[in-house]
Amino acid sequence: MEYPVIEEGQFRYIETGSGEKPLMLLHGLLGALSNFQGIIDFFGPKMNVVVPLLPIFELPLRKDALSWLVQYVNAFVMHKGYDKVHVLGNSLGGHIALLFALENPEQIASIILTGSSGLFENAMGTSFPQRKNYEYIKKKAEDTFFDPKTATKELVDEIFEIVSDRNRALRVIMTAKSAIRHNLGENLHQVKAPTLLIWGQQDKVTPPFVGEKFNELIDTSKLYFLDKCGHAPMMEQPEKFNEILEQFLTEIE
């Protein structure tokens, strides 16, 4: 089922239904709604899945990127009047989810992280020396996944369009640098909400040891590895991902 993008003031998002504890999905630096299609299709009819579109490309140049994005998520949750949320983040979205949870522990029903930044990552980099080289961008996109075919032409074209635009590329670089500055190693012991970690066994961006470190530092966490899977498990192994997530949500509820 397709859900329309709702526009309300500064916010653009999709929402599948209603419920006391929505499942809020936060996408990565170059992510989009399509990254979460498997989750939306599976959980949309069962619970309220909400996906705010993070305004990374509207980032004010003199602001710290991650702090600004966390403020945006906080304002969105207040705008919607959510009491408690299950917050799920992939890559940079996981980083934002953790910062939001650390600032608002009373509003967190659970945290789900998959390929999250916040400790260590081999990202596309803090610069794009070959940003107008299509084959270079294509190879970088393919390296995100275990199966290079997951990086479809549509996905590569979308990323290439973003990084070829000077203003957008600048904001991507600013956000990547901000993520490096916001290392959460000394803060994760403060996370008390039930936390699920789903990691790709072949993740090259945030390798398996990163998931293991999150598991070590967050006392309330459970870690699952998915084989033949890279940096976006919800895209490469959607059935297994959703099975683990559904079991987790059932247990904590």
Q: Does residue 82 lie within any of the structural domains?
A: yes
pLDDT at 62: 82
Q: Does residue 211 lie within any of the structural domains?
A: yes
Q: Does residue 145 lie within any of the structural domains?
A: no
Q: Is it the case that residue 124 has pLDDT exceeding 60?
A: no
pLDDT at 128: 55
Q: Say how many residues make up the chain.
A: 253
Indicate which CATH number applies to the domain containing 40. 3.40.50.1820
Q: Is it the case that residue 183 has pLDDT exceeding 60?
A: yes
Q: Does residue 166 lie within any of the structural domains?
A: no
Better pLDDT: 78 or 127: 78
Contact 208, 182 (CB under 8 A): no
DSSP state of 28: -
**If pLDDT is split at 50, 70 and 90, which confidence band does 134 have?**
very high
CA atoms of 141 and 138, how far apart (whole Å) = 5
* pTM for this entry: 0.94
CA atoms of 252 and 245, how far apart (whole Å) = 11
CA atoms of 137 and 157, how far apart (whole Å) = 9
Contact 133, 152 (CB under 8 A): no
Q: How many helices (H) and strands (E) does the chain have?
A: 9, 8
Q: Does residue 76 lie within any of the structural domains?
A: yes
DSSP state of 81: T
* Residue from 168, 186, 184, 226 nearest 92 by CA: 184
**If pLDDT is split at 50, 70 and 90, which confidence band does 129 have?**
low
Q: Is it the case that residue 176 has pLDDT exceeding 60?
A: yes
Q: What is the mean pLDDT of residues 147-173?
A: 91
- Provide the β-strand partners of residue 83: none
- Provide the β-strand partners of residue 113: 89, 197
Q: Does residue 200 lie within any of the structural domains?
A: yes
pLDDT at 32: 82
Q: Does residue 101 lie within any of the structural domains?
A: yes
Q: How many domains does the chain have?
A: 1
Domain that holds residue 236: 6-124+183-252
- Mean pLDDT is lowest, of 14-23, 148-157, 241-250, for 14-23
CA atoms of 177 and 174, how far apart (whole Å) = 5
pLDDT at 23: 98
Q: Does residue 219 lie within any of the structural domains?
A: yes
* Residue from 63, 94, 91, 74 nearest 11 by CA: 74
Q: What is the mean pLDDT of residues 139-145?
A: 91
pLDDT at 121: 83
- Mean pLDDT is lowest, of 93-102, 116-125, 147-156, 222-231, for 116-125
Q: Could you give the 3-state DSSP secondary structure of residue 223?
A: strand
Q: What is the distance in angstroms between the CA of the first residue and the CA of the last residue of the chain? A: 26
Q: What is the mean pLDDT of residues 153-169?
A: 90
pLDDT at 127: 52
* Packing angle of the helix pair 92-103, 65-80 (nearest 10 deg): 60
**If pLDDT is split at 50, 70 and 90, which confidence band does 153 have?**
very high
pLDDT at 131: 66
CA atoms of 220 and 228, how far apart (whole Å) = 26
